[in-house]
Structure 1
Amino acid sequence: MESTDPYFEALLVYLKESRGFDFTGYKRSSLTRRVNRRMGQVGIGDYQEYHDYLQVHPGEFTALFNTILINLTGFFRDAEAWEYLRHEVLETLVANKPADSVIRVWTAGCASGEEAYTLAMALAEILGPEAFRDRVKIYATDVDEEQLNEARQATYTERDVKAVPPELVKRYFEASAQRYTFRQDLRRSVIFGRNDLVQDAPISRIDLLTCRNTLMYFNTETQARILGRFHFALADGGVLFLGKAEMLLSHGSLFTPIDLKRRVFRRVPRLTSTPGAIFVEPPQPSTTPGTGLDRLRNEAFAASPPAQLVLTSDGLVALPNRQMEKLFGLTSRDVGRPFRDLDLSYRPVELRSYIEQAQVERRTLRVTDVEYQRGGDTTNLEVQISPLSDGDGSLLGVNLVFHDVTAARKLQEDLEHANQQLESAYEELQSTVEELETTNEELHSTVEELETTNEELQSTNEELETMNEELQSTNDELQSINDQLRINTAKLDEANGFLEAVLTSLRAGVAVVDQDLRIRVWNRRAEDLWGLRSGEVVGQHFLNLDIGLPFEKLRVPLRAALGPGGEVGEATVDAVNRRGRPVIVRVACTPLAPLDGAVSGGVIIAMETDESAVARKAVDDDLSPDGAR
């Protein structure tokens, strides 16, 4: 067992209890590296603090699981191994199976589905699309629901299908808007579902099981437990296809290599005795009374050596035999009780799920390695769960048989002890072998670590490539926006220059005001007339300016121009110009109306009349040296 921070182990327990993800069997070196990477992204350096952070921020679970579960996969990954699998394994499998039998395939750790669809294409090439639809069932499982949802869509980018030969892309994918969707008629044969290899029951009667580059993330103990479930899942002669970093050097009793280089293994048969039938239908001669035959059957069942229990189809206790009473204490008083209310339903092993599975699938299930503590002694049991069907196929009930395999287990232990004594005679040779095995295990572990690091680097490179493409697209968009802004700015400067030239060319003083009579434009002639520069008056209230205009006479035309009707108003008033001389000014107030028609302000135009010019000239002549004589 690898030693780690106890707070880190507490974090793993919290993930298992709160979200159902059991990472306790993962290798601590790679697991801590990924968790630390995610903690660094959120700015947390302590496992306890990150534990608290997860409790407060439930959305962080998704980001953490995506970091731990790299989910790196691809079509025809390791093309040479896939080529060998098709010609040496799949073609042989199809040839040996009866023409009307179902071919069952399980791809464990399927991620986003590329491996499952690769298997579908390989089998469809051998069988043809029509036979594939009728005969093939591909079960693809993973613990990541987000990845499973993506796999169910069966839609991939051009970069994703780059490894697929062009002729297969043409036959098995439908292209639309630079996306490639797997054929819908073949897609129905690929079934996706969630399955935790550490906790959930395996799928059974599998002909080919692929689990590539998944086992290497687990420690040795968890790998052994998962491989035991794989052995149970595979049918006799079933094939296991692993990743290039997984070798099964220590599991020769479960799998034997077909091609070690390409990591293809065959299931080793497990020799177990097959218990006989419990209910036998002997021929019924007409001379035998029915009641006597019933008593004979009941007595034979009651005296059966293994403990047996019959349940009705709705889960009620129907019939325990004597050995069942002796072993678990069940009596006739328990007949009619719901089985789920009995301690036996969950102790020494959880039986309710297996019973339900046997009823649904209508096949016999076995539960092995069950230990039952009784009176200080340990009894080893193997439970057989068999559905009981009527002649028309309807379900009558379920039969549970508890085989006592304690003696067999004891013999196995004695045999192991004898083997240990025999091995002690070769102590020196064994020492050398162990040293070589230790070295080999270390090399194998190093290969797995390097493969894991390579997976992470490849995932990071793909993320960086995606980010670079997004940044390049954003830069192009910003460049286009900047070019448009420069064009618009140039047009605005040109329009402002033209407007400035027009206002400067006018002989009249022009002031543009908004609805609140605050000045927005003040032209050059207005500066000459009243002596105030544009920078001094823009933003000021027109009626608050001290410019020599009698504003009380301008209120009526201003109100007419700024009112809802937007009428033009005029007035001729006596005023004083910037030199303090009296002038006669003609003032016109017009509404300022944009395209929508609503009055948004007014334009005030002030111009000296001809009478004012004549009068000012006369005054200037009187004040000149010649006129003062």
Structure 2
Amino acid sequence: MASEPNESLDPELEQLLAFIRDARGFDFTGYKRSSLARRVRKRMADVGITEYLDYRDLLEASAEEFDFLFNTILINVTSFFRDAESWTYLQREIIPELLSSVGSEEDIRVWSAGCSSGEEAYSLAIVFAQALGIEECARRVKIYGTDVDEEALREARSGSYSERSLEALSDDLRNEYFEQSGSRFVFRSDLRRRVIFGRHDITKDAPISRLHLLVCRNTLMYFNVEAQSQIIDRFHFALREGGHLFLGKAEMLLSDGERFEVVSMRQRIFRRRSGRTDAQHLTIPLTLDPAAGVEVRDVARKRQLRDLVLETAPNAMISVDLDGIIIQANSQARAQFGLTSQDVGRPFRDLEISYRPTELRSLIERAHSERRSIRVNAVERRLSADDVQYLDITVQPLTADDGLVIGSSVAFVDTTALTRLQLEVKRNREDLETAYEELQSTNEELETTNEELQSSIEELETTNEELQSTNEELETTNEELQSGNEELDTMNEEIRIRSTELDEARTFLEGVLSSVAAGVVVLDSELRVRSWNRGAEELWGLRGDEVQRQPFFHLDFGLPTEALVEVVNRCLVTGVRTEPVDLIAVNRKGRRIRCSVICSPLDSQSDGVVLLMEDIQELSEEG
């Protein structure tokens, strides 16, 4: 895991963390201070507190506040098959290898550390059920899901999820592994019994042991370097030899190559190395006749030793006799030039190696005639259009005890790296010779520059580690944003429901007011018109949109409103409905009428009244 830059410690925050540890047993001192301080500050802002000491006082006074704080710090962002590409690689490449290494009756042990609400653990159950079949998976696979958040574990144990939580699953997987219960979907019971959930703190609790697979995704990034190192030690102990470690996309094992080998850096999958390195031995069985004499057996052993030396030589070697027949080709030669055991005994000239990468037959003849080894350096062998191999080839004549040449050996030494370096050096030397005098005078400056370059490399390595830490921090922030987005989605849904209810209530109220034959006028605290129903329009001839928000007592219509000023004010002050007031008015048709007006306070708010106006008698012109 890459280390994060040094973080300055806030003494007040450290005191708060120590208090939480001592009071509730939650030790957050191993968490990264930047993200931890941000989450604590968020909770403090929610309760309107700015100082750590004041917030500690609140924690001491309210046990319930601990739960709110823990839910804020422990970001439970997870989903089924999160980062689908990584899960696909696990399912296609890792699981088959894991199953092939385990006996058909042996239990398979899997640990999902930091499982949150259980989606990851159940994803593992689905993966193994797909590979083994549901019945065998339920018989052999044990999956342990652990977390420090009890509330999240309660949700995980229920195995019940919303339809939205299962969006990552295909319809076939959802139908096969989940049973609908009302608006929720419950993971199938036979497999759910094989997923065991429990509280576990990976920073201090003893790890689960003898694991074939350990999954801990996007959890380590919340911890500092020291805590990460301790956790990796526990994970190494938990895994059996060859067991796999599956991390999150923001986490890497950059400096633990001795204990873990990289299986896929892109997918963040690693394998626990064996505790020891087994030497690889090439053995050729002895087939000596027990009745043979000691000298015969010694000769056979020596000959066998010589054969082994040639066979296991690090460089490719072939032997050719005077008749041009291949006598021997060691393992390196067979592998490098595509030779087989059937090529031994064939004429050398019939093989491609005799003329490619260079003409060897003439070199062999020359070595025989001159009775000396012939060496050709930096022979190009083109492996592909863009890949060239360089070989140093040595042809050594082989002579018998009587001094006669009986054959030759051809050795091939791969000098690609060295030759490329030499070619580069040669090109550099030509350039250096051109500027030799100038470089002599600046030699000391180059040495200084070299030291600066080394320092820059070290700075770049440090910067790389800081960038990795920043990446982890960004991933943490992303999960916080995702958590906040989910909260906003929930709030938006609640607002939408309330808006719908308000629209329905408004429509209902308008319908009620419209259906009332009498005139109904609602005034606010400033005696402006808030509502003017259809009965009022029919009675006085003014439309509702004409009088909306207009001062009632400034309106010019057939009702003598000045006679109602005292009645309305009294109703506003006392909040008591008034007796009917009969007024002589003129309706929209221009006829004189007797109008009864009742003023009532609004039930839902004290500042406002409702005027009920009813035509009780039409008067004659003389009346």
Q: TM-score, normalised by structure 1?
A: 0.54
User: For residues 517 and 503 of structure 2, what CA distance do their matches in structure 1 show?
Assistant: 21
Deviations 1:303-333 (A, max 9, x none): xxxxxxxxxxxxxxxxxxxxxxxxxxxxxxx
The range that moved more, 97-106 or 87-96, is 87-96
Amino acid at match of 1:217: Y
User: What is the aligned length?
Assistant: 364
* C-alpha RMSD over aligned residues: 3.3
Q: Does the CA contact (< 8 Å) of 1:111 and 1:151 recur in 2?
A: yes
Pairs within 5 Å for 1:136-155: 136-155=141-160
Residue 456 in structure 1 maps to residue 461 in structure 2: no
- Aligned pair partner of 1:129 in 121, 124, 134: 134
Who is 1:627 aligned against?
A: none
User: For residues 443 and 521 of structure 1, what CA distance do their matches in structure 2 show?
Assistant: 79
User: For residues 49 and 170 of structure 2, what CA distance do their matches in structure 1 show?
Assistant: 45
Distance 1:132 1:495, change over 3 A: farther
Deviations 1:13-42 (A, max 9, x none): 111111111110001111111111111111
User: For residues 493 and 193 of structure 1, what CA distance do their matches in structure 2 show?
Assistant: 68
User: For residues 452 and 154 of structure 2, what CA distance do their matches in structure 1 show?
Assistant: 56
Deviation of 1:493 (Å): 5.0
SS at structure 2 position matched to 1:59 = helix
Who is 2:500 aligned against?
A: 476
Distance 1:182 1:82, change over 3 A: same
Deviation of 1:157 (Å): 1.4
User: For residues 519 and 56 of structure 1, what CA distance do their matches in structure 2 show?
Assistant: 48
Deviations 1:269-303 (A, max 9, x none): 3359xxxxxxxxxxxxxxxxxxxxxxxxxxxxxxx
Deviation of 1:256 (Å): 1.4
Pairs within 5 Å for 1:276-291: none
Deviation of 1:58 (Å): 1.5
Residue 171 in structure 1 maps to residue 176 in structure 2: yes
Amino acid at match of 1:9: E
User: For residues 266 and 520 of structure 1, what CA distance do their matches in structure 2 show?
Assistant: 86
Who is 2:212 aligned against?
A: 207
Who is 2:244 aligned against?
A: 239
Deviation of 1:67 (Å): 1.2
Amino acid at match of 1:475: S
Q: Does the CA contact (< 8 Å) of 2:577 and 2:598 recur in 1?
A: no
Distance 1:444 1:521, change over 3 A: closer
Q: Which has the higher contact order (CA 8 A, sep 6+)?
A: 2
Residue 223 in structure 1 maps to residue 228 in structure 2: yes
The range that moved more, 465-474 or 173-182, is 173-182
Deviation of 1:443 (Å): 1.7
Who is 2:104 aligned against?
A: 99
Distance 1:519 1:257, change over 3 A: closer
- Aligned pair partner of 1:113 in 115, 118, 125: 118
Deviations 1:473-531 (A, max 9, x none): 11001111121122233345559989xx9xxxxxxxxxxxxxxxx99866969xxxxxx
Distance 1:536 1:439, change over 3 A: closer
Who is 2:9 aligned against?
A: 4
Deviations 1:417-453 (A, max 9, x none): xxxxxxxxx9999867644432321121121112112
Q: Does the CA contact (< 8 Å) of 2:581 and 2:597 recur in 1?
A: no
Q: Does the CA contact (< 8 Å) of 2:145 and 2:195 recur in 1?
A: yes
Pairs within 5 Å for 1:19-418: 19-271=24-276
Query: Structure 2: which 5+ runs fail to align?
Result: 1-5, 278-449, 521-534, 540-575, 584-594, 601-623
Q: Does the CA contact (< 8 Å) of 1:111 and 1:142 recur in 2?
A: yes
Deviation of 1:537 (Å): 13
Who is 1:467 aligned against?
A: 491
User: For residues 121 and 577 of structure 2, what CA distance do their matches in structure 1 show?
Assistant: 73
Distance 1:523 1:447, change over 3 A: closer
Who is 2:555 aligned against?
A: none
Q: Does the CA contact (< 8 Å) of 1:140 and 1:193 recur in 2?
A: yes
Deviation of 1:251 (Å): 1.9
Deviation of 1:184 (Å): 1.2
User: For residues 483 and 11 of structure 2, what CA distance do their matches in structure 1 show?
Assistant: 29
Pairs within 5 Å for 1:590-605: none
Who is 1:377 aligned against?
A: none
Q: TM-score, normalised by structure 2?
A: 0.54
Amino acid at match of 1:98: G
Residue 487 in structure 1 maps to residue 511 in structure 2: yes
Who is 2:23 aligned against?
A: 18
Q: Does the CA contact (< 8 Å) of 2:221 and 2:472 recur in 1?
A: yes
SS at structure 2 position matched to 1:163 = coil
Amino acid at match of 1:118: S
Pairs within 5 Å for 1:413-432: none
Amino acid at match of 1:125: Q
Q: Does the CA contact (< 8 Å) of 1:246 and 1:448 recur in 2?
A: yes
Deviation of 1:92 (Å): 1.4
SS at structure 1 position matched to 2:56 = helix
Deviation of 1:115 (Å): 0.5
User: For residues 160 and 216 of structure 2, what CA distance do their matches in structure 1 show?
Assistant: 22
